[in-house]
C-alpha cells in the first residue's frame, strides 16, 4: 500500500476519532432524545436515545476496518475488468485509492450526524475544510504528479 493511500486512510480514521471525541466530551449536554433519522428534505422524522449516536461511531469504525482490509488485500476485490499481470498493479492501486476515498466520505457522512445532533452544523464545515478537504486535495495532487 502506497504512502498516499495510507495518508488518506489516516484522514478517514482521524475524522472518526475527532467526531468520536467530540461526542464523548459533549455527551452529557445532549438531550436524552436526539434525532436519529432525517427525510429527504432534511427534516427530522424519528427520534431515539442519545446512545444511538455511539452506535454511529462503532458502525463507522467497523465499516472503516472492513474497507481497509479489502484495500490492504486488493486481490479479493471485485473488478469490472479481468485482472492480468499487465494491469494488476494499476488496478490494485486504483481500487485502493477508491476504497480509501470512500472511507473518508463515509466518515464525513457519519460525522455530520454527530455535528448536527450537537447543533454544530456551522462548525462541521470548518471541520471538513481543516481535516479533510485541504489534506485530501494535497494528497490527490501528489498522486497526479507521481
Measured at the CA of 128, the angle between CA 125 and CA 130, to 5 degrees, comes to 110
Cα Rg of the chain (Å, integer): 18
pLDDT, tens digit (0-9, with 9 covering 90-100), for 52-103: 999 999 999 999 999 999 999 999 999 989 999 999 999 999 999 999 999 9
Burial 88-127 (b: 16+ CB within 10 A, else e): eeebbbebbbebbbbbbebbbebbbbbbbbbeeeeebeeb
pTM over 0.75: yes
3-state secondary structure of 86: coil
CA distances from 33 to 24, 28, 79, 133 (A): 16, 12, 43, 32
Amino acid at each position: 500500500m502506497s504512502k498516499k493511500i495510507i495518508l488518506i486512510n489516516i484522514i478517514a480514521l482521524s475524522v472518526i476519532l475527532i467526531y468520536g471525541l467530540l461526542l464523548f466530551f459533549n455527551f452529557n449536554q445532549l438531550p436524552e432524545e436526539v434525532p436519529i433519522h432525517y427525510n429527504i428534505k432534511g427534516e427530522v422524522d424519528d427520534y431515539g436515545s442519545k446512545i444511538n449516536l455511539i452506535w454511529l461511531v462503532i458502525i463507522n469504525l467497523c465499516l472503516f476496518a472492513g474497507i481497509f482490509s479489502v484495500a490492504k488485500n486488493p486481490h479479493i476485490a471485485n473488478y469490472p475488468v479481468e485482472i492480468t499481470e499487465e494491469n494488476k498493479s494499476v488496478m490494485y492501486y486504483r481500487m485502493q485509492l477508491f476504497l480509501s476515498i470512500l472511507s473518508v466520505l463515509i466518515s464525513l457522512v457519519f460525522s455530520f450526524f454527530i455535528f448536527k445532533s450537537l447543533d454544530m452544523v456551522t462548525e462541521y464545515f470548518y471541520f471538513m475544510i481543516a481535516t479533510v478537504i485541504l489534506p485530501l486535495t494535497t494528497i490527490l495532487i501528489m498522486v497526479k504528479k507521481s
